[in-house]
Structure 1
Amino acid sequence: MEDILRAAKKVAIQAALQAGQEAKNRFENINSILEKDDFGDVVTEVDHLAEEIILTHIAKSFPDHCVDSEEIGHNGRQSDWMWIVDPLDGTNNYAIGLPLFATSITLMHQGNPVLAVIYEPMVDRLFVSAADKGAFCNNIRVQTKPCPSIQRGTIGWIQGHKVQNEARAVKLRHHLDVRFKRMMRVWAPTLQWCMLAKGDLDGIVLYNSEGTDLYSGILMVQEAGGLVMDYEGKPFRGMSPEPYLIACHPAHKEHFLKTVAEGMG
């Protein structure tokens, strides 16, 4: 397993860097923006180009592995190993010229994330984490940090595209918005997970948002010493089709559980 992970890390980094640079080079020079569903999500030719770059790298080195990628979907193979690829997390930002986007690659083993690579090309930040190996940004280890006054903290909100203005989500979102200094919605979830991992964000509340951008971020935060749990405080493991999660520094566990419970009540 260690040999596979070493090789996979090299492949994932090369693929993410190449795909991310391609997205950076084409930023504000896109030819095609198409709606991909009824919930406002979009896709550009850069999504497909970056995806092709990443999948080519993976197929060359690991032809027998499963792959689940944002645009193409599942490759139909059966394996204990599965790559989850979001070639352009933050496409909606990218499409309107907002430079907040990333490339995300996760390797799962038997349903658990064991390797995550997230590349933010506009600022050249490469985040890498592996199970039980820590989390790193540009080869420097990162750690979640406690906030001296969590009520004055900055948190991230992530919700699935299909949630829209669901009443419970709106209620919880408003509750959080007025109980912290700032609540961010950047429409590029992997960037929020990375901000929490490196101590620039004080927590994340995620409402029913499962997809190709999720598991790399979860592993990044866990390996940076953060908690990832459900709304009842149970540690999150594996995968879930409808996750409702809180992520934070362990020192703030009870505060987040109480605040979210109030917002859901």
Structure 2
Amino acid sequence: MDVEPNRDAPDLRDAHRFAVQAARAAGRLLRRGVRGEVHARAKDDSGDLVTDLDLAAERLIVDRIRARWPEHGVIAEEGGEYAPDTTWAWLVDPLDGTNNVAIGLPAYVVGIALCERGSPVLGVVHDPIAGRTWSAVRGQGAFVHGADLVGHPLRAARRPVPAAPVLAWTQGHGVRRDDSTARALKVVLDTTARRVLQLWAPLLAWVMLARGDIDGIVGYRPEAVDLPAGVLLAAEAGMAVRALDGGTFDDRYGCPADRRSFVAGPPETIDRLVKLVTAAQWIEPQVRRLTPVSLGSVGW
């Protein structure tokens, strides 16, 4: 059945330019803020943190979106939903890498995505430290932006097929330490990959994949707000994204956590990466029988 065109659709060129400008403005705010004392506090019992910088950057972006497109929904990392719309919704991660900022590690980015009926059509990632921005528009490619707003085509550099890959790992804050699937996946990756990066800033890992700096990303029940921008950026740069079992990945925002798990990498090696992660199912029963060391038992 044909879907009737949405007459209220925003001009994606305008939305693209707007999102790049908003992400950069938030990045300037963050860069100024991290020069001073950063006060972090626990957001919930998962160990995730929030700072006043998260809230200020989010407010800046959300206020701009609501002023420009008041009819659109906005789903923000810290503030929740604003006027949710089922057709057009902006996803805002104002500071991806809060835990890094809290310990003085300069590895954090700003992420913005625009979704149509849940699927991303526009994604922007801005690195305030490097002063660089990466973006993608569905069907139009991925871009890297310098000091100006002009985007230049980004296509991942093809790396030689490695004997042992360099991979990034990400998991959601709600994943428990005793989750046997997560533990089995980590065992397989740690014993097979040349290096496994845990950046505490998933969007930064997606940028590295889109540029061709790393060989893949494995995500287990990742957070929902930052995922669409990263997936779109990698896909438009020529990368493949699959579900953990090798099936089609559902990129729609709002999917249950167990359907957000993924493996991503170059098309020529994605099957090998899928085979790698599916091997975890064979060792999971053994992992399940092992009891993780409790931090309390060692006096932490």
Give the deviation of 1:212 after TM superposition.
1.2
Partner of 1:36: 43
Give the deviation of 1:236 after TM superposition.
1.6
Where do 5+ consecutive residues of structure 1 fail to align?
Answer: none
> With structure 2 as the length reference, what TM-score do the two structures score?
0.85
Identity %: 37
Q: Does the 8 Å CA contact 2:168/2:217 hold for their aligned counterparts?
A: yes
Where do 5+ consecutive residues of structure 2 fail to align?
Answer: 1-7, 146-150, 283-300
Give the deviation of 1:237 after TM superposition.
3.2
Alpha-carbon distance in 2 for matches of 1:93, 1:241: 27
Partner of 2:125: 118
With over 3 angstroms needed to count, the CA separation of the structure-2 counterparts of 1:75 and 1:263, relative to structure 1, is same
Partner of 1:253: 270
Does the residue aligned with 1:16 lie in a helix, a strand or coil? Answer: helix
> With structure 1 as the length reference, what TM-score do the two structures score?
0.95
1:170 aligns with 2:187: no
Does the residue aligned with 2:29 lie in a helix, a strand or coil? Answer: helix
Q: Does the 8 Å CA contact 2:92/2:112 hold for their aligned counterparts?
A: yes
Q: Higher mean Cα deviation, 5-14 or 218-227?
A: 5-14
Partner AA of 1:207 in structure 2: Y
1:9 aligns with 2:22: no
The residue correspondences of 1:22-33 to structure 2 (distance < 5 A) are 22-33=29-40
Partner of 1:109: 116
With over 3 angstroms needed to count, the CA separation of the structure-2 counterparts of 1:3 and 1:62, relative to structure 1, is closer
Q: Does the 8 Å CA contact 2:231/2:251 hold for their aligned counterparts?
A: no
C-alpha deviations, 1:152-190, integer Å up to 9, x for none? 321100111111322221121121112111110000000
Partner AA of 1:253 in structure 2: I
User: Across the two proteins, how many residue pairs are aligned to each other?
Assistant: 265
Partner of 1:185: 198
Q: Higher Cα Rg: structure 1 or 2?
A: 2
1:158 aligns with 2:173: no
Does the residue aligned with 1:151 lie in a helix, a strand or coil? Answer: coil
Q: Does the 8 Å CA contact 2:58/2:93 hold for their aligned counterparts?
A: yes
Q: CA RMSD in A?
A: 1.5
The residue correspondences of 1:67-216 to structure 2 (distance < 5 A) are 67-138=74-145, 139-165=151-177, 166-216=179-229
Q: Does the 8 Å CA contact 2:92/2:111 hold for their aligned counterparts?
A: yes
C-alpha deviations, 1:92-111, integer Å up to 9, x for none? 00111100000000000111
Q: Does the 8 Å CA contact 2:39/2:102 hold for their aligned counterparts?
A: no
Partner of 1:65: 72
